[in-house]
Structure 1
């Protein structure tokens, strides 16, 4: 069959898509562009309400164009009823190994729906094949699911409770990627901070094994939640000193108010979050701190919002990912009283966005004139070559070979990226 694959969402979803593609190719199906395809596989994301609406609309567009559509990813777990009944198959995130079966059933006029009972399907995805795309970056999932019970999160309905992959399998994939010429390894998970808690190890021990691999490469550690990061704080800071680890920390705080954190089901305090940031900055030079904020959570009054603003002004993150609260089906937060009116949520979001840009610009300006090491990635969307500094800041160069470590001088800064030139 001629099949088109379209994927959305996080790096984890992109890794899942490469597994689906490899399974299709192994079964002698052909991966083609949309116009040539008989089937369209949509690997969905549904973390937010606007994202879900886009997924539903896209599935309908593909069906209306005459394509047979199979839906995979998180949407089937989060809102199965939202999926157009005309689709030819529906697979949950732990059923992607059934993609060939789904096509065969569809060809016979049936419809495989493999969503229910997903908790009992403990497939080890690192034992599935992957396609090796050309490029600089390779994503390695290290676990699936998490140990948290955030009251606003629907992703846990799809990914479930933590299941860490075996360290030896992770290390094997990293070694294979390095041997194939990849220069950046992205460790992906719903929460890297709790990796290994279910199998008697932890993230720091895994990173020790990965950094011991021979080769010139860098590792980007994915998001870790504060309540888990603080449990291994000394160990993780020590391994972060290794030159193969990007000095990049994605530590979502979500709110600067302890009462709101309690209502969110976030099992840490603002003070603990700040302790982690303080210790990282004490021991890791030029740390690139990213955090996430949800504005407009039920019960967030003006005082609570101001606590968030004050926290951001104190810690001055390099980047803030600001999200407006979006009630998701089946979550406790969707049923809470004191929902915030839309216009106020937008107002707070815009305020934090302006604050974020101002802080980011002040930080980035300090890089102008400095000579730094950069790993070049790919052609930029607006021209030039995009790269990453050793603390994972985005930098644009006029021209450069891709996939190389290069000495660069920073010539200009914006709120979202740096500009530079190669030092001859």
Structure 2
């Protein structure tokens, strides 16, 4: 039996796909390209409405082309009605260990639908085998679910409440990845900031354990919510000082208006967000700050939007991920009455995007002429060799060995990446 896995969305989904591939190979299945496949596993994302629509279209395309499709990922939890009824099986994110059973049932003309009851399932995904694809980057999930209850978020319907994986298992996976030659370890979670709160530890302690592993590698810490990061702020900053940790902080604020934050169910204030940023910048040189903004959230007045603009001008993040609010099924925000008209949401989004590019360009200009250490990742989408600086800035080199730490001089800058050349 030949199977193809098609994965969308976050790094968590990428790790889930590698787990399913390992289970398939262990059971004697072939994992092949799309054209050769008997079955396609669609590992879906449903974080936004446009993404969901794309998933639904893609499932239909595959079915219309004659492929048998099994759907996994977040879509079965967020909006199962978007899934074409012709699919051969549906598995939730905590049922990926049942992928073999789903195919076996489909071969007998039965359909396994295993989505409900995920709250009762408590599998530790780090105990599931994974394929080693090789390369530079290896994703290590550290937990699943979160402790927040954001009124706009549908991902929590899929991933659930926080379940932190055991530190010993995480360290074991990192050690093995480093031993196999991976140079960048990406710690992945819905919210890394709350890691360990359910098992009596925290992210800073985990980072201390990982940085003590021998070898030359770097750690990219995934997104953390401000209300959880602040609880371990001092320890976290101390951990970040280690040379093995990228000086990269993904701290989503979502809005610069405290009333909108309350409506979003975000349990922190703008002032608390700014305090975290100040403390990190005080102690971590060249911090690369990324944040997220949702524009057009229900009830966002012109004044509230301007508060967000002013926050961005004050904080000046290196990068801002701007999203237009889209109501997700089953969320509180989808039922709010004061929805913002589409043209206004687009207008605000475009303004923030222009502001973000302007700020990013000014920040990146400061790197011109600097010599920096870079980890090369591989061929860039537009040519050259793509790499990451030690604060996780994207840099393109005309040529360089892949998967190596190299010394580079920055020769040109843009709003979104740097350009450089090797230094002898």
Query: For 2:174 and 2:163, how far apart are their aligned partners in 1?
Result: 19
Kindly state the Cα deviation for residue 134 of structure 1 after the two structures are TM-superposed. 1.6
Look up the match of 2:99: 99
Aligned to 2:266: 266
Deviation by residue 1:350-392 (Cα, 9 ceiling, x = unmatched): 0000000000000000101000000000100110000000000
**1:17 matches 2:17:** yes
Distance (whole Å) between structure 1 residues aligned to residue 171 and residue 35 of structure 2? 39
Structure 1 SS opposite 2:119: helix
SS at match of 1:293: strand
Could you say which residue in structure 1 is the equivalent of 2:304? 304
User: How far does the alpha carbon of each residue in 1:207-251 deviate from its partner, in whole angstroms, 9 at most, with x for none?
Assistant: 000000000100000000000000000000000000000000000
Q: Deviations over 1:300-354 (max 9, x none)?
A: 0000000000000000000000000010000000000110000000000000000
Q: TM-score normalized by structure 1?
A: 1.00
**In 1: Cα distance, 2:321 partner to 2:141 partner:** 22
Partner residue in 2 for 1:416: 416
Partner residue, 1:397: 397
Q: Considering only aligned residues, what root-mean-square deviation do their CA atoms show, in Å? A: 0.3
* Secondary structure, counterpart of 1:119 in structure 2: coil
Match runs of 1:153-302 below 5 Å: 153-302=153-302
SS of 1:214's partner is coil
CA distance in 2 between partners of 1:305 and 1:88 (Å):
45
Identify the residue that residue 345 of structure 1 maps to in structure 2. Answer: 345
Instruction: Quote the residue 1:326 is aligned against.
Output: 326
Deviations 1:23-42 (A, max 9, x none): 00000100111111110110
Cα deviation 1:267-296 (Å, max 9, x = unaligned) = 000000000000000000000000000000
Deviation of 1:176 after TM superposition, in Å, equals 0.2
Unaligned runs of 5+ in 1: none
Give 5+ residue unaligned stretches, structure 2.
none
Encode CA deviations 1:127-152: one digit per residue, 9 max, x unaligned.
00000012100000000000000000
Q: Secondary structure at the match of 2:354?
A: helix
> What is aligned with 2:112?
112
Shift of 1:298: 0.1
Aligned-partner Cα distance in 2 for 1:310–1:82: 39
Per the TM alignment, residue 266 of structure 1 is displaced from its structure 2 partner at its CA by: 0.1
Cα distance per residue 1:160-211 (max 9 Å; x no partner): 0000000000000000000000000000000000000000000000000000
Once residues 223 and 172 of structure 1 are traced to their aligned partners in structure 2, the CA distance between those partners, rounded to angstroms, is: 22
- Distance between the aligned counterparts of 1:34 and 1:162, measured in 2? 35
TM-score, normalized by length of structure 2?
1.00
SS of the equivalent of 1:230 reads: helix
Q: Which residue in the other structure is 1:78 paired with?
A: 78
Cα deviations across residues 8-54 of structure 1 (Å, max 9, x unaligned)? 00001000000011100000100111111110110000000000000
Distance 1:150 1:342 in 2: 22
2:35 matched residue in structure 1:
35
- Distance between the aligned counterparts of 1:231 and 1:4, measured in 2? 43
Paired with 1:33 and 1:166, the residues of 2 have a C-alpha distance of 35
What is the CA–CA distance in structure 2 between the aligned matches of 1:309 and 1:419, rounded to whole Å?
29
Q: Secondary structure at the match of 1:374?
A: strand
Q: Which runs of 4+ in 1 moved over 6 A?
A: none
Matched residue count: 424
